[in-house]
Amino acid sequence: MPSFDERKTRELQAKIDGVAIELDAWRGLAQAQGPLEKHHTQMRRIGAVIDDALASLRDELRNAKTNGTILSRSPHLETKVLALHRVWAFFRDKLALRLVGHTRPFLRTADALAWSIVGPLLGARRDDDRFVRARRGEPPLVYLATPIAGSLANTPFALGREFNVARELAEFGDPHDDAITKIDARLRSAIDKVPVPLIGVPWYQLAFPGDLALVAHEAAHVAEFDLGLESVLDAAVDGALAAAGAPDPRRRLWHAWRVEVFADVVAAAALGPAYASALGAFLAAPKEQITAERACERSSYPPTTLRVALAAIAATPTGTPAADSDAERAAAIRDRWCAAFPPQYDGALDGDAAIVVTALLDTPLTALGGATIRSIVGLSAPQRRAAEEVARRVARGQRVDPQDVRVLVAGACLALCDSPSAFDDRARITALLGAADASIAAGVLSGRTSGAPSQAAADATRRADRARAAELLALFGEEAAADAAPGIG
């Protein structure tokens, strides 16, 4: 009869192998011509981290067998195997919705919109570790989030910044169970070890295409983080304001708001006036609430009226004639908002707005090979005209042809700007997302995307992923195993 040690060894080997079997099945779905083909690089990076973690677990199992400590080490190993399953499940559940008929077109459209901003910026980057963070660099994965009590999950958000990971995982576990709480705290850190950026959108946005534009804001956050542009953009804004003679208190305000302002103006450059319209519609609230807002350094956002103004300014390239149709539309969006919600903050901030937009969008950046943000992601004149045509066709209930996803999303938002009832007929939503899905399948993408990395960059990424695997397992060490004492419930 086999010993208990031998039985436990084979059991643990099977449990470790089970993670690999699960991953391989999903890798198959991401192969060429598979239903998740567009996610093959994300699967490769997620799998690389987990594969390295599995290799370490196999080493631990061999050492325990050699040392005769299989029975004492089994809770420790099982905790780590379950941790890997849970980390993978976090991503698997999001990928799985791409296999569901009614969620697939929306998510593929949102993925493509995010990548249309992140991809060209990463493609323009200098392949230099001083500027590029090896920790990520993959396309963002958009997913549908369930609102959590007390959170801001009714708005899109980019995961990867620590507070957002905690927000997403707050629904896991029983807050009254200390052991589970400790393990969940480790899991929150473990998710950040996997180098795929995530953008969450509330489930109900599935039913309303006008909110798709907000994904562009979160994509800008992802691009800034992955390119490590924070200090560069801070300096550009502060230098421009200083040169214009802005006093220190106003410069401090813009410094406090700079991250969120960057995301808004990049989204506006990428989608044109459509983003300013979508943002204003999304942020609309009772007049007394909006007009009571004041400029405050403690807030990450400028007053809402100033946000809409910034988006309207950024929606057309600097120097665009006032008679240009896009400039007229952007001005009309801003004027309509200000008529409904008259600004009550220091008017000098409105004067600063154009300076800040120019500094963020039109400053040549060394990290991008001397290019500007607008030159890389800005909506071109032909794309703007195409978006207007999409808006007209949606309003008439006419067929919308497959084309650039940014054009389709911008056109949808412009249609809603002109008529809130544009998508009351749900067949129009289905047709619009179908056109987007067809264009994605045909490979119609905006701008440049990230090319193949150099060998040095690929090696650096591989080293970083191995380090992530080690850090991930270290989160679930001896204390975690003790928290998960074996037993039958």
Q: Note the pLDDT tens digit of each residue in 64-77.
A: 999 999 999 999 89
Alpha-carbon distances of 37 from 26, 34, 137, 443, rounded to whole Å: 11, 5, 18, 12
Q: Which of 249, 272, 250, 253 is nearest to 261 (CA)?
A: 253
State residue 329's pLDDT score: 93
For residue 161, give the DSSP letter: B
State residue 299's pLDDT score: 93
pLDDT digits (tens, 9 = 90+) for 401-432: 999 999 999 999 999 999 999 999 989 999 99
For residue 452, give the DSSP letter: P
pLDDT digits (tens, 9 = 90+) for 242-281: 999 999 999 999 999 999 999 999 999 999 999 999 999 9
Model's pTM, two decimal places? 0.85
241 Cα distance to chain centroid: 29
Contact 222, 140 (CB under 8 A): yes
Q: How high does pLDDT run on average in the chain?
A: 84
- DSSP string across 3-17: -HHHHHHHHHHHHHH
Pairwise CA distance, residues 289 & 284, whole Å: 10
- DSSP string across 84-133: HHHHHHHHHHHHHGGGSTTTHHHHHHHHHHHHHHHHHHHHHS-S-TTTS-
pLDDT digits (tens, 9 = 90+) for 226-252: 888 999 999 999 999 999 999 999 999
State residue 454's pLDDT score: 60
- DSSP string across 287-304: HHHHHT----TT-SS--H
Is the pLDDT reported for residue 397 higher than 80? yes
Contact 329, 415 (CB under 8 A): no
Is the pLDDT reported for residue 152 higher than 90? no
State residue 174's pLDDT score: 38
Residues 31-54 have a mean pLDDT of: 89
Residues 314-340 have a mean pLDDT of: 88
Residues 33-60 have a mean pLDDT of: 90
Q: 397 phi and psi, to 5 degrees?
A: 75, 25
Residues 125-131 have a mean pLDDT of: 57
354 Cα distance to chain centroid: 26
Q: Which of 210, 229, 218, 295 is nearest to 260 (CA)?
A: 218
Is the pLDDT reported for residue 154 higher than 90? no
Is the pLDDT reported for residue 476 higher than 90? no
Q: Which of 121, 118, 164 is nearest to 145 (CA)?
A: 164
Is the pLDDT reported for residue 451 higher than 90? no
Alpha-carbon distances of 12 from 21, 311, 393, rounded to whole Å: 14, 56, 60
Is the pLDDT reported for residue 469 higher than 80? no
More confident residue, 162 or 446: 446
More confident residue, 142 or 177: 142
pLDDT digits (tens, 9 = 90+) for 378-390: 999 999 999 999 9
Residues 329-358 have a mean pLDDT of: 94
pLDDT digits (tens, 9 = 90+) for 98-124: 999 999 999 999 999 999 999 999 888
Residues 133-162 have a mean pLDDT of: 64
Alpha-carbon distances of 324 from 10, 181, 329, 440, rounded to whole Å: 72, 57, 9, 31
Which of 305-309, 366-370, 437-441 ranks highest by mean pLDDT?
A: 305-309
Is the pLDDT reported for residue 461 higher than 80? no
Is the pLDDT reported for residue 484 higher than 90? no
Please give the structure tokens belonging to residue 261: 């302002």
Roughly what angle, to the nearest 10 degrees, separates helices 40-67 and 455-474? 50
Question: Confidence band (pLDDT; 50, 70, 90) for 452?
Answer: low
Return the percentage of the chain with pLDDT > 90, whole number: 58
Q: In one letter, which amino acid is 346?
A: D
Longest CA pairwise span in the chain (Å):
89
Is the pLDDT reported for residue 159 higher than 70? no
Return the percentage of the chain with pLDDT > 70, whole number: 80
State residue 221's pLDDT score: 94
